[in-house]
Structure 1
Amino acid sequence: MTDFPKSAALMQRGTNFLGCKHAILCGAMSWVSERNLVSAISNAGGFGVIACGAMTPDLLDTEIAETKARTDKPFGVNLITMHPQLFDLIAVCKRHGVTHVVLAGGIPPKGSVEAIKDFGAKVIVFAPTLALAKKLLRSGGDALVIEGMEAGGHIGPVSTSVLAQEFLPELSEDHLVFVAGGIGRGEAIAGYLEMGAVGVQLGTRFACASESIAHPNFKKAFFRAKARDAEASVQVDPRLPVIPVRALKNKGTEEFTAKQIEVAGNLDREEVDMGEAQLQIEHYWAGALRRAVIDGDVENGSLMAGQSVGMVKQEEPVADIIQQLMRESEEALARR
């Protein structure tokens, strides 16, 4: 039996796949989606995901072990496809028997999906276009996350509602599709479930949970923010194909624009090649995010947040957030 029968029925394929009670994934937020938040989400019936980001294999090894010490429920690991040690990180996941690996940040390199499936783990992929989604699912992806531009962090150009209308009618019958980006309430979850999604992914709503290690200054910035304050970064040079990042506007977002101009100048003078230029941009983001999340420097750090930030008003336990989302979804479905 479940307290949320209508929602549970629509999430059934998602919960069967994830092995959890509610098909609500936590988005992988660097510095935030670590052992404490991930284990709390899994313990509360959701599905926590460790954000590996730029971690070394040794750091990921420790993070997985510490998460397992805090929960006996399933959780996943998010790996960035461009990580230079991707296959070493996959080996760490294999050693720990990780059940689900999320591949994000680009097309998975040759052999990576096979290496994950080789030890029995499920592969979750992201795709910004329908054609790429079909290709990744044909190539071994077990489930897909479609993420709209309302999300925080690195984003694509299309809104969640449009992606859902485009992808779900085509894919939902034969494939497992989770929807992400701008989701802050259960009524939205109910709508996407009715359209064929098997679950959802939220990041911003969990960033300020009681169990999140984010600095109090970081959380206060979220509580004060409105949806319009979460802006996408501007690309200043077409030679630097910087993926836009959505974050709360502050001095740090202005500094990022200046950083792009600086790196473009280095390219002009041939002081760096394109690969190094792009790496400098990525390293900037990693450092800026740490300054905000860990050090509490909300002026110069990066306050990555989705547009649902306007719905985040206070610190709440993860279990309460998940219960509220499921209750809102159930009530919405009951009114249909």
Structure 2
Amino acid sequence: MSTSPHLDALTARGRAFLGSRHAILGGAMTWVSERNLVAAISNAGGFGVIACGAMTPDRLAAEIAATRGLTDRPFGVNLITLHPQLLDLVAACREQAVSHVVLAGGLPPAPAIARVKDFARLLAFAPNLAVARKLLRSGVDALIIEGSEAGGHIGPVSLAVLAQEILPALPEAIIFAAGGIGHGSAVAALVEMGASGVQLGTRFAAAVESVAHPAFKQAFVRAAARDAVASVQLDPRLPVIPVRALRNAGTEAFHAKQREVAEKLDRGEIDPAVAQLEIEHYWAGALRRAVVEGDVETGSLMAGQSVGMVKAIEPVADIIASLVGGAEAALARRRSPVPEPA
């Protein structure tokens, strides 16, 4: 007998789509969402997602195979649409019999959609209702709506607003909500609004099974929600996507990097496309320093505002059990008979 009947009923479509016990996706985090964390999330009943990031097709294929060696449960792969070898990465996923692919980082190109649909279920991010409808018309099977509370690269709108805009308008769509989710009560509220499930990254980044450096995890434990701040764009010629991370010396270093790149533009040393690439390379290097090397001073501690709910370094299974238990308790309370007034 299910110990979470109310939650199971509301997430039935999401669970069936993912093929997992719970409709809880692990957010794909570069350097963090690799075989160990992905397998741990799937083994605990969630749905792990490998962050391909800048991997080559061969490297991705090896990571998929290694993950499959750690779990027999379903998991997916997140691919960045701007990757120069996107179609080769899709081919690697096909060769490795990946069941679900998430296309992130912009509108997925039609050739990638067609090739993924040939062998897997396809998820994509919808930043507003118009794009959500366009993605569904283009053949995307499920959507992720991610609010600005999330960590890493973020959009401009909060999940509270996106959920109100998109969920009631697309009641037949399979939609997973993400951004700032840390407690089961939030999961309950979102699935009651119509979400088929949720996606979390920050809580899992600090899990026992995460390969992130111990100093990186401890920074999460110490942080409050207000410490996770969005980066500021200094020059309109550098339309950088905001990144949410814990405030540290690296935050100021990014401002300096923008000024340096802007000055190169002024001198005509680089064109805007190369300037944009320099900014992205900055983030990739800063994130690696924090996650892999434990440089919590100048590295990029990408984290969502739910970081304030990370109170300890816990096993993934405990995190998922807490989310499920909290959501079920909240749903059960709201379904209890209302006592008659005395």
TM-score for the superposition, normalised by structure 1: 0.98
Deviation at 1:110, TM superposition (A): 2.9
1:280 & 1:89 partners in 2: Cα distance? Answer: 23
Counterpart in the other structure of 2:47: 47
Aligned residue pairs total 334
Residue type of the partner of 1:156?
A: G
1:111 & 1:11 partners in 2: Cα distance? Answer: 31
Residue type of the partner of 2:36?
A: N
Counterpart in the other structure of 1:331: 329
Matches within 5 A, 1:134-213: 134-171=133-170, 173-213=171-211
Matches within 5 A, 1:49-64: 49-64=49-64
1:169 & 1:315 partners in 2: Cα distance? Answer: 36
Counterpart in the other structure of 1:233: 231
Which one of 297, 312, 317 corresponds to residue 315 of structure 2? 317
Structure 1 residues 59-92: Cα deviation after superposition (integer angstroms, max 9, x where no partner): 1111101100000100000000000000010000
Counterpart in the other structure of 2:89: 89
Q: Note the residue ranges of structure 2 that are not aligned, 5 or more in a row.
A: 335-342
TM-score for the superposition, normalised by structure 2: 0.97
- What is the root-mean-square deviation of aligned Cα atoms in Å? 0.7
1:2 & 1:213 partners in 2: Cα distance? Answer: 32
Q: Secondary structure at the match of 2:236?
A: coil
Residue type of the partner of 1:4?
A: S
Structure 1 residues 123-160: Cα deviation after superposition (integer angstroms, max 9, x where no partner): 10001111011001110110000000000000011111
Structure 2 residue 246 is the aligned partner of structure 1 residue 248? yes
Deviation at 1:313, TM superposition (A): 1.0
Residue type of the partner of 2:146?
A: E
Range that drifts further, 271-280 or 85-94: 271-280
Matches within 5 A, 1:109-120: 109-119=109-119
Q: Percent identity?
A: 70
Deviation at 1:265, TM superposition (A): 1.2
Q: Note the residue ranges of structure 1 that are not aligned, 5 or more in a row.
A: none
Residue type of the partner of 1:150?
A: E
1:81 & 1:134 partners in 2: Cα distance? Answer: 19
Residue type of the partner of 1:294?
A: V
Counterpart in the other structure of 2:125: 126
2:121 & 2:265 partners in 1: Cα distance? Answer: 40
2:158 & 2:57 partners in 1: Cα distance? Answer: 34
Counterpart in the other structure of 1:216: 214
1:262 & 1:62 partners in 2: Cα distance? Answer: 38
2:15 & 2:154 partners in 1: Cα distance? Answer: 26
1:252 & 1:23 partners in 2: Cα distance? Answer: 35
1:161 & 1:12 partners in 2: Cα distance? Answer: 22
Residue type of the partner of 2:257?
A: K
Structure 1 residues 183-229: Cα deviation after superposition (integer angstroms, max 9, x where no partner): 00000000000000000000001011000001010011111100000
Q: Which runs of 4+ in 1 moved over 2 A?
A: none
Structure 1 residues 216-266: Cα deviation after superposition (integer angstroms, max 9, x where no partner): 100111111000000000000111110000000001111111111111111
Structure with higher Rg: it is 2
